[in-house]
Structure 1
Amino acid sequence: MAGAETEDADPPKGTSNPAARGLRGAGYTCLDDLVGVPAAELKKLHGVGPKALTVIQAELERTGRSLG
Protein backbone atom coordinates (compact mmCIF):
# COMPACT_ATOMS: atom_id res chain seq x y z
CA MET A 1 0.00 0.00 0.00
CA ALA A 2 2.83 2.41 0.66
CA GLY A 3 3.61 2.49 -3.07
CA ALA A 4 0.09 3.63 -3.89
CA GLU A 5 0.33 6.40 -1.32
CA THR A 6 3.66 7.55 -2.71
CA GLU A 7 2.31 7.65 -6.27
CA ASP A 8 -0.44 10.10 -5.28
CA ALA A 9 1.55 11.95 -2.61
CA ASP A 10 2.63 14.83 -4.85
CA PRO A 11 0.71 17.03 -7.27
CA PRO A 12 0.55 15.60 -10.79
CA LYS A 13 3.62 16.06 -12.99
CA GLY A 14 3.27 19.32 -14.89
CA THR A 15 1.69 21.21 -11.98
CA SER A 16 3.68 24.37 -11.26
CA ASN A 17 5.48 24.85 -7.96
CA PRO A 18 3.17 27.74 -6.94
CA ALA A 19 0.11 25.57 -7.64
CA ALA A 20 1.62 22.67 -5.70
CA ARG A 21 2.29 24.95 -2.73
CA GLY A 22 -1.23 26.39 -2.92
CA LEU A 23 -2.76 22.93 -2.95
CA ARG A 24 -0.65 21.70 -0.04
CA GLY A 25 -1.34 24.89 1.92
CA ALA A 26 -5.07 24.27 1.56
CA GLY A 27 -4.68 20.71 2.83
CA TYR A 28 -4.77 18.88 -0.51
CA THR A 29 -1.80 16.59 0.00
CA CYS A 30 -2.56 13.88 -2.53
CA LEU A 31 -4.54 13.37 -5.72
CA ASP A 32 -7.25 11.50 -3.80
CA ASP A 33 -7.93 14.68 -1.80
CA LEU A 34 -8.98 16.44 -5.02
CA VAL A 35 -11.66 13.96 -6.10
CA GLY A 36 -15.02 15.74 -6.21
CA VAL A 37 -13.63 19.16 -5.27
CA PRO A 38 -15.21 21.86 -7.43
CA ALA A 39 -12.78 23.44 -9.89
CA ALA A 40 -14.08 26.87 -8.83
CA GLU A 41 -12.90 26.19 -5.28
CA LEU A 42 -9.42 25.20 -6.48
CA LYS A 43 -9.18 28.30 -8.72
CA LYS A 44 -9.36 30.45 -5.58
CA LEU A 45 -6.05 29.01 -4.36
CA HIS A 46 -2.84 30.93 -4.99
CA GLY A 47 -1.03 29.56 -8.02
CA VAL A 48 -3.87 27.33 -9.21
CA GLY A 49 -4.99 28.50 -12.63
CA PRO A 50 -6.37 26.99 -15.82
CA LYS A 51 -3.19 25.05 -16.62
CA ALA A 52 -3.00 23.44 -13.17
CA LEU A 53 -6.68 22.54 -13.29
CA THR A 54 -6.23 20.95 -16.73
CA VAL A 55 -3.28 18.89 -15.46
CA ILE A 56 -5.14 17.82 -12.31
CA GLN A 57 -8.31 16.89 -14.18
CA ALA A 58 -6.36 14.89 -16.78
CA GLU A 59 -4.56 12.92 -14.07
CA LEU A 60 -7.80 12.24 -12.21
CA GLU A 61 -9.48 11.08 -15.43
CA ARG A 62 -6.53 8.77 -16.13
CA THR A 63 -7.55 6.88 -13.00
CA GLY A 64 -11.31 7.08 -13.57
CA ARG A 65 -11.93 10.01 -11.21
CA SER A 66 -12.75 13.70 -11.63
CA LEU A 67 -13.11 17.08 -9.99
CA GLY A 68 -16.54 18.13 -8.78
Structure 2
Amino acid sequence: MPKDKQDLTESDLPKLAQPAVRALRNAGITRLEEVAKLTESELKQLHGIGPTAAEQLRRAMADMGLDFSK
Protein backbone atom coordinates (compact mmCIF):
# COMPACT_ATOMS: atom_id res chain seq x y z
CA MET A 1 0.00 0.00 0.00
CA PRO A 2 1.44 3.44 -0.86
CA LYS A 3 2.64 5.37 2.18
CA ASP A 4 0.13 8.24 1.81
CA LYS A 5 -2.80 5.80 1.59
CA GLN A 6 -1.47 3.92 4.61
CA ASP A 7 -1.18 7.14 6.61
CA LEU A 8 -4.80 7.99 5.86
CA THR A 9 -6.07 4.62 7.04
CA GLU A 10 -4.00 4.76 10.23
CA SER A 11 -4.90 8.33 11.11
CA ASP A 12 -6.99 9.00 14.19
CA LEU A 13 -7.32 12.72 13.50
CA PRO A 14 -10.82 14.20 13.54
CA LYS A 15 -12.47 15.40 10.35
CA LEU A 16 -10.88 18.77 9.62
CA ALA A 17 -11.08 21.38 6.87
CA GLN A 18 -8.74 20.69 3.96
CA PRO A 19 -6.26 23.50 4.79
CA ALA A 20 -5.77 21.98 8.25
CA VAL A 21 -5.45 18.46 6.81
CA ARG A 22 -2.78 19.69 4.38
CA ALA A 23 -0.93 21.56 7.15
CA LEU A 24 -0.76 18.44 9.31
CA ARG A 25 0.16 16.19 6.40
CA ASN A 26 2.94 18.59 5.33
CA ALA A 27 4.27 18.48 8.91
CA GLY A 28 4.21 14.66 8.83
CA ILE A 29 1.46 14.45 11.44
CA THR A 30 -1.12 11.68 11.07
CA ARG A 31 -1.94 10.76 14.69
CA LEU A 32 -3.23 12.62 17.73
CA GLU A 33 -0.19 11.40 19.70
CA GLU A 34 1.96 13.40 17.29
CA VAL A 35 -0.20 16.51 17.73
CA ALA A 36 0.21 16.13 21.51
CA LYS A 37 3.98 16.50 21.12
CA LEU A 38 3.43 20.09 19.97
CA THR A 39 2.54 23.10 22.07
CA GLU A 40 -0.70 24.77 21.06
CA SER A 41 1.35 27.73 19.85
CA GLU A 42 3.49 25.47 17.63
CA LEU A 43 0.35 23.89 16.16
CA LYS A 44 -1.19 27.27 15.35
CA GLN A 45 2.01 28.31 13.56
CA LEU A 46 1.33 25.68 10.88
CA HIS A 47 -0.12 27.42 7.84
CA GLY A 48 -3.71 26.20 7.57
CA ILE A 49 -4.35 25.60 11.27
CA GLY A 50 -6.78 28.14 12.65
CA PRO A 51 -8.75 28.43 15.88
CA THR A 52 -11.45 26.01 14.74
CA ALA A 53 -9.01 23.24 13.77
CA ALA A 54 -7.02 23.77 16.98
CA GLU A 55 -10.20 23.41 19.05
CA GLN A 56 -11.27 20.28 17.13
CA LEU A 57 -7.86 18.75 17.76
CA ARG A 58 -7.94 19.77 21.44
CA ARG A 59 -11.33 18.05 21.90
CA ALA A 60 -10.22 14.91 20.06
CA MET A 61 -7.05 14.71 22.15
CA ALA A 62 -9.02 15.24 25.39
CA ASP A 63 -11.26 12.30 24.44
CA MET A 64 -8.10 10.17 24.35
CA GLY A 65 -6.62 11.62 27.53
CA LEU A 66 -4.06 13.68 25.62
CA ASP A 67 -3.18 17.38 25.78
CA PHE A 68 -0.82 19.78 24.05
CA SER A 69 2.80 19.78 25.21
CA LYS A 70 3.67 22.44 27.78
The alignment's TM-score, normalised by the length of structure 2, stands at: 0.77
Q: Relative to 1, partners in 2 of residues 1:67 and 1:7: Cα closer, same or farther, differing over 3 Å?
A: farther
Unaligned runs of 5+ in 1: none
Q: Relative to 1, partners in 2 of residues 1:6 and 1:46: Cα closer, same or farther, differing over 3 Å?
A: closer
- Computed over aligned residues only, the root mean square deviation of the Cα atoms, in angstroms, reads 2.1
8 Å contact from structure 1 (residues 11, 20) kept in 2: no
Unaligned runs of 5+ in 2: 1-6
Distance 1:8 1:56 in 2: 16
Q: Which has the larger radius of gyration?
A: 2
Work out the percentage of aligned pairs sharing the same amino acid: 35
Q: Aligned partner of 2:41: which letter? A: A
Task: Kindly tell me the number of residue pairs found equivalent between the two proteins.
Answer: 63
